[in-house]
Amino acid sequence: MKHLLRSRALVSLLGLFALVPLVAQDQWPLQLQAGNGTITIYQPQPESYTNGTVTARAAVAWQERGGDPVYGAIWVKGFLEVDRTTRMGTLTRLEVTDVRSPAVTDSTRIARFKQVLAAEVPKHVQPISIDRLVASLDAGEAQRPDLKHAPPRIFYKEEASTLVLIDGEPILQALEGSAYDRVVNTPFLMVATKDRKTFYLGGAGLWYTAQAIAGPWVHTTNAPADLAKLVQQEEGAATSPATDANGKPIVPQIVVSTVPAELLQTNGPADLKPIQGTQLLYVSNTDNDIFMDIASQRFYALLSGRWFAAAKLGAEGWAYVDAEKLPADFAKIPEGSPKDGVLASVPGTTASKEAVLDASIPQTAKVDRSATTTVSYDGEPKWRLIEGTQIYEAENASTSVLYINKRFYACDNAVWYESDDSMGPWKVCTKVPAEVKDIPPSSPNYNVKYVEVYETTPDVVYVGYTPGYTGCYVYGPTVVYGTGYYYRPWYGTVYYPPPVTYGFNMHYNPWTGWSMGMTVSNGWMTVHVGGYPGGWWGPPMYRPPYYRPPYHYGGGGYYGGRGNNNTINIDNSTNINVGGGQGGRPGSGQGNAGRPTQRPADQGSLYDRGKNPSVQPSRPSTSAGTGTGAKPAAKPGANNMYTDKAGQVYRTDGRDWQQQQPNGKFQTVPPTTGQGSARPATGQGNKGTPPAMSPDTRQQLQRDQAARDRGQQRVNSYQGRPATGAGGAAPRGGAPARTGTAGGGARGGVRR
């Protein structure tokens, strides 16, 4: 319930801003031409959200030709549709529910005022940047689901290295038409001879060999020719190893782990640099987030949104540190500095508050009532009772399937379906069973509780999923990636991998959410997250999106300057190709520092990924009022109007507040006196002094003003991220859908 309340509070703000047109600077206020006058709508303020319906109020001005502007307030409601791909939201089915104007006492004129606004405002609904929204919401009550925080095995290397994860003990399957068996429970290309005496690991022009999976792995230039053909089949074309600044191939060391693990690595011994205004040092020659607290002489590392600490980088004994127990100086890391990206994981910072709020914004879609899906099982359905519930989950299904109250429910690509039979036929679900909210994090299907049905009509169902469905969870005052649980995979005739938390150096980006870090493969091989033969990393919603580099590594922060960065893209063959060298850090003397900067195209939502024509993701128009008469107000800096809950209109010059008087003029409001009610005015209109506003009203207006400023900063930062370079944008796609099912989103199985 706490999560739902926070989600509703967050989404409500989205609706308020849906009146704004998408223009280059996403400007306020918005002007509409209506008959013989002009309507100006100022940035709205949120009030509520219930079951997809949002309500908001906004200051407005109506100026008829030749007359003075009449100021007032409007209340609107509508259904919120959100496109997280473009970070835009739109309030649809909009209606004006109330109009008030303290300056209009003539009932005929106020009726005219209401009539014009009610008729014209809904015609001009346009997209709005959700970065304005997260800057204005209240975080609500903190959530602490029963996630796990036991540290993974943490390796540390001072040279180019690659962590090769195997999901438990190796499982080998025969490769048809070859003399090799393949290790199927790893995303890397690892094969063995039939006698298990020789193992090979390869990709992107490099090959390694070992006598045992644990290693040691030795680089070889004499890999069998048929293995090279196998790589070409999966990668599409022959590739070359990444090179350093001198053009020499980078040959990283191989680190293999069969348990959850992470790899920290630096380009040589750790190079510690101070963070201004703090007692913290950060390791500058790495893509990992590693710090030294001078006071305690301990190292801190941020992994999947969780903090771990140890006395030495290369030592064992890393321990989990609750984010709220971090040294106080972490909250003093300046925005715009090279390590401001970690502020999203530091309680009390604006960045962490915004990350929590952003985790409540859904991606929405419209589903035709005729839509269906296909579910397959590895043999007969195998059912397991979810602890603490009366829900059964299918262990061997191609997607999430639950048995609740004698009915079957499937959640496929963030759409709920239901059936009387485990084999179908399946129809779109119009109401999610309440029991779904009781699924604990110990279940691999925990993420489905973040998929909602918002509204239905005779023809369509409006659905959506918040980032929890993709593995981003609110935990207290910050967000983390993954539940921290280790889930047992299914292995029958098909291998179904479970979702994972560690091993892929997950980084949080305020614009794109969670994405893989460079140390997954450090520029030398392909990670087959969605490759042979149909996918490795569990249900598709658990696959991280392709990596957008943390832009601050180029010399500025997420909220500051932007630098050049290498990239990790995901291509249409569902392979993640890593560009860059050891560390991948521009200016480190490694990697492809001379390449033009590229920014991949925005990843599609899961609704895109399913390629189901009956599921249409929300796609706000990118037009700026074309053909509607809507445009940004001409006067720069004019977005200074606010309204309180009673409909009183205020404006500010950044220092003083002015309130609209009954005569239509604005007059400065005296400072609030005491803690009681406002003192009475000494005169009428602008002849006397208007009453001081109440402390609550002043504080709310000041919060709204600060939120607007922060929202504009976020919009500027998002729009200022690196543009596509000479190399062109990467193909669209994000994390790929699994093959082998009609919807394309079911689990991919490795068949025995």
Residue where a domain stops, chosen among 312, 328, 358: 358
Structure-derived torsion over alpha carbons of residues 633, 648, 671, 137, reported in degrees to the nearest 10: -70
* 17 & 89 share domain: yes
Domain final residue, candidates 358, 392, 420: 358
Are 37 and 115 in a shared domain?
A: yes
- Which carries the bigger pLDDT value, residue 738 or residue 650? 650
Give the model confidence (pLDDT) of 528-549 as tens digits: 443 333 344 444 444 443 333 3
Whether 113 and 18 map to the same domain: the answer is yes
388 shares its domain with 450? yes
Mean pLDDT of the chain: 74
Same domain (yes/no): 328, 369: no
What's the average model confidence in pLDDT over 494-510?
A: 85
Q: Please state, in angstroms and rounded to a whole number, the distance separating the CA atoms of residues 437 and 143.
A: 14
Contact between residue 27 and residue 632 where contact means Cβ atoms under 8 Å apart = yes
Confidence of residue 445 (pLDDT cuts 50, 70, 90): very high
Residues 27 and 93 in one domain: yes
Flag whether pLDDT at 49 surpasses 70.
no
> Are the C-beta atoms of residues 614 and 283 closer than 8 Å to each other?
no
Among candidate residues 158, 576, 83, the one with its CA nearest the CA of residue 366: 83
Residue 75 lies in a domain: yes
In a domain, 630, yes or no: no
Same domain, 12 and 102: yes
Asked whether residue 349 falls in the same domain as residue 406, the answer is no
Question: Closest by alpha carbon to 439, among 381, 488, 475, 391?
Answer: 391
Is 163 part of any domain? Answer: no
- Please identify, among 358, 381, 412, the residue that sits at the C-terminal boundary of a domain: 358
Longest Cα separation, the chain = 99
Claim to verify: residue 137 and residue 46 sit in the same structural domain = yes
Task: Give one DSSP letter per residue of 338-398, joined into a string.
Answer: TTGGGGGGSTTSHHHHHHHHHTTPPEEEEEETT------BSSS--EEEPTTSS-EEESSBS
Q: Over range 581-607, report the average pLDDT.
A: 35
**Burial classification of residue 435, based on how many CB atoms lie within 10 Å of its CB (0-12 exposed, 13-18 middle, 19 or more buried):** middle
User: Same domain for 381 and 350?
Assistant: no
C-beta of residue 551 within 8 angstroms of C-beta of residue 508:
no
Does residue 415 fall inside a structural domain? yes
Per the document, the length of the chain is 752
On whether the CB atoms of residues 393 and 386 are closer than 8 A, the answer is yes
Give the pLDDT confidence of 465-492 residue by residue, as tens digits. Answer: 988 998 999 999 999 999 999 998 888 8
Rounded CA-CA distance 148/721 in Å is 34
- Residue 304 placed within a domain: yes
- 751 located within any domain: no
CA 688/CA 669 separation, integer angstroms: 11
Question: What is the arithmetic mean of pLDDT over 126-139?
Answer: 67
In-domain check, residue 91: yes
Nearest one of 429, 526, 630 to 230, comparing CA atoms: 526
The whole domain housing 298 covers 268-358
Domain total in the chain: 3
Q: Is 523 a member of any domain?
A: no
pLDDT at 621: 54
Residues 72 and 127 both lie in one domain: yes
Region of 317 (left: φ > 0; alpha: ψ -120 to 50; beta: rest) is left
Q: Are residues 309 and 434 in the same domain?
A: no
> What is the β-pairing status of strands 153-157 and 261-265?
parallel
